[in-house]
Amino acid sequence: MLPSLAGEIPLIPAIPELIAGFVLFLIVWYAIAKFVVPKFEETYAERTAVIQGGIERAEKAQADAATALNDYNAQLATAREEAARIREEAKSQGTSILAEMRAQAQEESARLLAHAKAQIEAERSLAVQQLRTEVGGLATTLAGRIVGESLDDDDRARRTVDRFIADLESQAEQASGHKV
C-alpha cells in the first residue's frame, strides 16, 4: 500500500476540503450569475437609454435651430428681393426719387437684416442654453450614478460641466475656423 501524501505534505488539501471548496465555488458562481450580473445588465441598459434620449433631444434641438435659420434666411431673401424691386421702381421714376428710394430700401434691408440676425442669435443662444442645461443635468446625473452619490447641489460639478461645454464650444469654433 502507498502511503497517503495528503497527511505528510501540507500543500495538498484533503479530499473533503476540495469537495467543500468546489461546492462553495458553485454556490458563489450561481449567486453572482443569478443576482449580480442581471443588476449590472439592467443598470447598463438604463444608462444607455438615458444617454440615447439625451442625444435624441440634442439632435431635435439642433434640427429645430436649423429650421429656424432656414426660415430667417428665406425672410432675408424675401427682404432682399423687395429691396431690389423698390430700387428698380425708383430708377424708372427719376434721379431724385431714385436716390430717396435707394436710401429707404437700404435702411429697410439693414433693419430687416439686423432684426433677422438678432432673432437668429437669440434662437441660437436659447438653443445653446437649453442644450447646456440638459447636457449638464444629464452629465451630473450620470456622474452621480457612477459615483454613487448625488452631485446635483455641488457647485463644483456645475462649474466642471460648464467648463467642459465651453471647451467643446471653443473646439467647435476652431474647427469651423479651419474649414473656412
Task: Dump pLDDT digits (tens) for 124-174.
Answer: 888 878 887 777 777 777 777 776 666 656 676 677 777 777 887 888 888
pLDDT at 154: 64
pLDDT at 46: 95
pLDDT at 14: 86
Q: Which of 67, 76, 65 is nearest to 115 (CA)?
A: 76
pLDDT at 137: 74
Q: Do residues 142 and 47 lie in contact, with contact meaning Cβ atoms separated by under 8 Å?
A: yes
pLDDT at 35: 95
| Residue 94, phi-psi category: left (phi > 0), alpha (psi -120 to 50), beta (remainder) | left
Residues 72, 74, 75, 78, Cα dihedral to 10° = 160
pLDDT at 21: 93
Residues 6+ apart with CB under 8 A from 109: 79, 80, 83
Q: Do residues 133 and 125 lie in contact, with contact meaning Cβ atoms separated by under 8 Å?
A: no
Q: Do residues 71 and 123 lie in contact, with contact meaning Cβ atoms separated by under 8 Å?
A: no
Alpha-carbon gap, residue 40 to 43, rounded angstroms:
5
Residue with cell 451630473: 140
**Is 125 strand, coil or helix?**
helix
8-state DSSP, 13: P
Cell numbers given for 88: 428698380
pLDDT at 86: 87
Encode the chain (180 residues) as per-residue pLDDT tens digits.
Answer: 445 555 567 788 889 999 999 999 999 999 999 999 999 999 999 999 999 999 999 999 999 999 999 999 999 999 999 988 888 887 878 777 778 878 898 999 999 999 999 999 999 888 878 887 777 777 777 777 776 666 656 676 677 777 777 887 888 888 877 654
pLDDT at 38: 96
pLDDT at 159: 74
8-state DSSP, 36: I
